[in-house]
């Protein structure tokens, strides 16, 4: 979609204003039901688009993304928008300036449409916000879009934006990308600035991207300066499949996963990761609860009703938890880092596994606590990962996840693009 629209813009077949109007029309038509956005600045978006069209007429575009409509998760600062993180207690706080990740997209000419829905404080694997509503899956409106970047993933899937920023602390870009049938990239630690992101964990937080395909993620990441311009080498990936994690998914997911791996033709090596993913997830959860409590402590005590009961419970648990539990959590996370360093010794080593253990959950049904069991370990390592929309079961999309070593993002994205092409042929 992005590459096609960039080409159309360059050939004069469409204007940036027309692209913005089309996205705004989708928002106006469908968002009352889907609840992807918290705020939309129609007038500001049209002004940005018209400025892009003037630059293109004058032959001074800012790059490939000039005129491309973008959405931003509401826990990232966007100048002039509420910087709420989906928390009612922060609903009156307005961002004075853009987060660097937002500024990078704006500097490349992208048109910022608005901010997207999330569970309050980004604490949740589904986007069911008590003040802003449940974000529905555009492909399966009776099911969840996932979380915590659910609004961003759903906006891309619904055609309300061509690309979106999200955040990923334990899988919050990849899970909704998988369920909404789009691509979601969690970059390596430190690759995309996290300044201006309402924090959960300095160790685990990343700012990621969502788009329709891996190719579009590459285009966006390069244009925004999140990737160096140097191309990766052309060696094939050495695919590693952690069978002990694959076995934790539903049988139908295992079937489509193994079928896809066979079609890729990369002679996968089956391994056992040897980590308890639930234990890793719980360790990460306590670490982020403790760090988030430090940030939100004053607001939580001043206005406890401004946080959902679920968010309050998570933050208050950190207040009461004994110090030894937190120390143990960091020890577990350090163990994950060591184990992954043993496995991913070169950029060519790529883990392949499903993104989620279950298809999208029906709205109103209990949400399984282990939704992040297949994703959280990557954040503990500081590595890169992507979910690509190539696996679907009867209950909906589930995503194929590829995981690379820290700073292996170029090779990972190229592998994801090639995997998409091979599975589509």
Active-site residue set? 73, 148, 172
Q: Which SS3 state, helix, strand or coil, does residue 185 take? A: strand
Alpha-carbon span 421 to 257, nearest angstrom: 16
The SS3 call for residue 238 is: strand
Sign of CA pseudo-dihedral 390, 391, 396, 401: negative
**How far apart are the C-alpha atoms of 52 and 56, rounded to whole Å?**
6
Tokens of 174: 């990849």
Q: Which two tokens stand for residue 385?
A: 């990962």
CA dist list (Å): 5 to 13, 90, 144, 145, 304 = 9, 36, 29, 25, 46
8 A C-beta contact, residue 53 and residue 67: yes
Per DSSP, helices labelled H in 12-130 are 16-34, 42-57, 100-107
**Cβ-based neighbours of 150, under 8 Å, separated by 6 or more:** 116, 117, 118, 119, 126, 127, 135, 144, 176, 180
What pairs with residue 388 in β-bridges? Answer: 400
Sort 230 into a burial class: Cβ within 10 Å, 0-12 / 13-18 / 19+.
Answer: exposed
Cα–Cα distance for residue pair 237/412, rounded to 1 Å: 9
Q: HSE, CB side, 13 Å, CA atoms: give it for residue 244.
A: 8
Q: How far apart are CA 179 and CA 200, in angstroms?
A: 23
């Amino acid at each position: 979609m992005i590459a096609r629209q960039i080409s159309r813009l360059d050939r004069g077949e469409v204007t940036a204003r027309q692209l913005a109007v089309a996205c705004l029309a989708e928002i106006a038509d469908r968002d009352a039901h889907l609840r992807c956005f918290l705020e939309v600045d129609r007038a500001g978006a049209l002004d940005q688009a018209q400025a892009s069209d003037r630059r293109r007429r004058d032959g001074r575009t800012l790059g490939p993304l000039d005129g491309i409509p973008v959405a931003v998760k509401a826990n990232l600062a966007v100048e002039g928008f509420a910087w709420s993180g989906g928390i009612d207690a922060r609903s009156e706080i307005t961002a004075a300036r853009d987060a660097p990740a937002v500024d990078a997209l704006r500097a490349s000419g992208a048109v910022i449409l608005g901010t997207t829905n999330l569970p309050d404080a980004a604490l949740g694997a589904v986007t069911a916000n008590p003040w802003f509503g449940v974000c529905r899956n555009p492909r399966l409106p009776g099911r969840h879009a996932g979380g915590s970047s659910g609004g961003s993933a759903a906006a891309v899937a619904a055609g309300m934006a061509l690309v979106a920023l999200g955040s990923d602390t334990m899988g919050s870009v990849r899970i909704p990308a998988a369920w909404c049938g789009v691509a979601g990239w969690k970059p390596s630690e430190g690759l995309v600035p996290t300044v201006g992101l309402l924090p959960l964990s300095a160790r685990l937080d990343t700012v990621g991207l969502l788009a329709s395909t891996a190719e579009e993620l590459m285009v966006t990441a390069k244009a925004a300066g999140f990737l160096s311009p140097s191309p990766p080498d052309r060696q094939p990936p050495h695919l590693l499949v952690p069978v002990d994690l694959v076995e934790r998914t539903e049988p139908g997911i295992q079937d489509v996963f193994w079928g896809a791996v066979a079609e890729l033709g990369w002679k996968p090596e089956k391994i056992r990761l040897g980590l308890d993913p639930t234990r890793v997830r719980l360790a990460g959860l306590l670490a982020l609860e403790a760090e988030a409590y430090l940030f939100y402590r004053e607001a939580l005590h001043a206005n406890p009703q401004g946080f959902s009961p679920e968010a309050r419970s998570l933050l208050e648990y950190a207040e009461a938890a004994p110090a030894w539990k937190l120390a143990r959590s960091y020890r577990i996370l350090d163990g994950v880092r060591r184990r992954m360093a043993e496995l991913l010794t070169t950029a060519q080593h790529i883990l392949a596994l499903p993104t989620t253990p279950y298809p999208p959950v029906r709205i109103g049904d209990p949400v399984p606590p282990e939704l992040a069991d297949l994703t959280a370990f990557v954040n503990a390592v500081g590595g890169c990962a992507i979910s690509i929309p190539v696996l679907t079961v009867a209950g909906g999309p589930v995503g194929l996840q590829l995981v690379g070593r820290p700073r292996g993002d170029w090779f990972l994205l190229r592998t994801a693009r090639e995997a998409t092409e091979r599975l589509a042929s």
